[in-house]
Structures are given as C-alpha cells and as structure tokens.
Amino acid sequence: MEVAGFIEWISDALIEQNECNVGMLRLDKIHPIISGNKYFKLKYYLEEAKKANRDTIITFGGYYSNHLHATAFACNKYGFKSVGYVRGEEPSSMNDTLKDCIKFGMELKFIPQGEFKKIQDQFNVSHSRNVQIIPMGGHGILGMKGASEILNNEIAKEFDYIIASAGTGTMGGGLLDILEKHQQLVLISAVKNNFSLKEEIFELDPSLVAKEKQLFIQHQFHCGGFGKSNQLLFEKMNWFYNQHQIPTDFVYTGKMILGFYELLRNNSIQKNSKILLVHSGGLQGNRSLGAGSLNF
C-alpha cells in the first residue's frame, strides 16, 4: 500500500518557532477497523496462515486491545476462525472493544493475570498445524516485516526525524529497518520502565544493532504506565485536536504528541528539521474513557 498520500502537514506556534516542517502520517485513515499500524503488523501473519492452509488464528491481548479488535475483524473478513486470549478475569459486562470482537466472530478466553504469559509460552512451543499464532500486539519478525512497509516510499526518505509511539517495539523495529542513513528514529514509550525496549528490538533482528546510533527512545511520557492517563495528557490531546483537527488515542498517539512538543520545547530536535509523526491508529480505545475527557 502507498501510504505517502496519508501525510497531513501541520503547523502551529511552537513548530514555527523551531522553523520545522512537520507532517503526520495518518495511518488511522487506512481502514476504519484494521486501524493504523495493525494493518501492517497483521499482514504477513495472515499471509503465512493462508499459504499454510491454516484455518484458525490464535492471539492475545488485554480488555481494550486494539490488536484483538483488529485481528477479530481481519479474521472475519478473510475467512479465518479466531480465538483471543484476554488477560484478566471475565468481566461482568463486556466493554465496547470486547463486544466488537465477539460481533466479529472471535471466541474470547479469559486468563488470570498470573497465568497469561505461561499460556502464551505454551502456544509458542506447541500448537495444532491448522493454527496460526500471532503474538500479542503482532510482536515478531513477521509483524516487524509488515511495519517496515510504513516508510517504504520516496517521500518518507525526505524526513530528518521519524517519531512514533512504542509498546512492544515491533513497529519501531520495522521503522528502524527501513530508516535511511541521514534519519533519526525517536520512539516515545507508552510503557512505564520499558528500559529493555531497545534490546527487544535488536532481538527481533540483530542486524538492526548497526543502526543503534539512529535510535532514540524517550521513557518519560508514559503518563503512569501502559493504558494509564492523566489530565496533562488529555489537555494536550484536546489542544492538538483544536489546533489541527486530528484525533489521537490516550494509549499511544496522545503520548507521542505530548513527547513531541516537549522535545521541541527543550530544543532536543534541531531547528529547520523535517519531521514525520506516525499516527499508529487505535482510536477505538478512547471509547473506554469517561464522558468529557476528550473534546472529539
């Protein structure tokens, strides 16, 4: 897919003060359900399942997982059975994300927090031949391979900085893999104390170590941890929407925006730079927020 057409140019007082050219890659606009980077991270897992004549996809996620949501829809669309292992006890009432997963035909199995990793590890060791395992978040070399296609176009090569949010580092690995020599990749970690992120990216593909000096990870914008939020985050998301009419989500892209403007403010980004912000989708997760948190 040619994603260059999804770049929207933005400008405001702080961007102009730093004399930067900033574009946002609106991956959230690629598909209404298989949103953002999920479109790319699922691609090669589904292709592998089809080539191997597998009929069932098994994957993993939390109560508000964009990954489960997108996988359930994709499996329904392409004719796969789907099973989602959900971290935590079965809730007394399903939230909108889980309701959609069920509507899309996904069988949900709820696993207590302490047993969740063990279940994942067991499937990685042994499973039926007709089953395709997709790790949580699409993590793995196939997810990274798909994510590398996000920047696989000539326009993307013109930017000095690529800035994106990061969870497992799968998309980050893909972006780093395709990065040009003159470019820097800045990842805003959405996970608290995720200090092993760089090593986990290199474990996906050891050849990426050669680009270590082009990779910069910011760990201070998680707003309390993965899936956590605070008033400062909501204020920045609302401000950004008022300025640019671009919605963000509170798990990933909102934290990226928070981090980006702080980096601009403290001169961590060179003036006169050309910057690409990667909108990785996931807007459906905002449905879990209370009324009035966001103005969009």
Question: Residue 168's pLDDT is what?
Answer: 93
Dist. CA 176–CA 19, nearest whole Å: 25
Tokens 């998309």 — which residue?
171
Average pLDDT, the chain: 96
Domain 38-140, CATH: 3.40.50.1100
Question: Residue 4's pLDDT is what?
Answer: 80
Question: Residue 82's pLDDT is what?
Answer: 98
Please give the average per-residue pLDDT across 215-234, as a whole number: 97
Please give the average per-residue pLDDT across 151-173, as a whole number: 96
Domain with CATH 3.40.50.1100 in the chain: 4-32+142-288, 38-140
Q: What is the pLDDT of residues 164-175, one digit of tens each?
A: 999 999 999 999
Please give the average per-residue pLDDT across 246-269, as a whole number: 97
**Cα torsion angle, 226, 231, 232, 236, sign:** positive
Phi-psi category of residue 36: left, alpha or beta, with phi > 0 → left and psi -120 to 50 → alpha:
left
**Cα torsion angle, 7, 253, 61, 205, sign:** positive
Q: Are 217 and 187 in contact (CB under 8 A)?
A: yes
Dist. CA 50–CA 281, nearest whole Å: 25
Q: What is the pLDDT of residues 11-23, one digit of tens each?
A: 999 999 999 999 9
Please give the average per-residue pLDDT across 250-277, as a whole number: 97
Question: Residue 96: which pLDDT band, with cuts at 50, 70 and 90?
Answer: very high
Residue type, 260: F
Question: Residue 11's pLDDT is what?
Answer: 98
pLDDT > 90 fraction of the chain, expressed in percent and rounded = 96
CATH among 3.30.160.340, 3.40.50.1100, 1.25.40.10, 1.20.1600.10 for 4-32+142-288: 3.40.50.1100
Buried b (16+ CB within 10 A) or exposed e, 113-152: eeebeebbeebeeeeeeebbbbbbbbbbebbbbbbbbbbb
Question: Residue 124's pLDDT is what?
Answer: 85
Dist. CA 39–CA 3, nearest whole Å: 12
Please give the average per-residue pLDDT across 174-184, as a whole number: 98
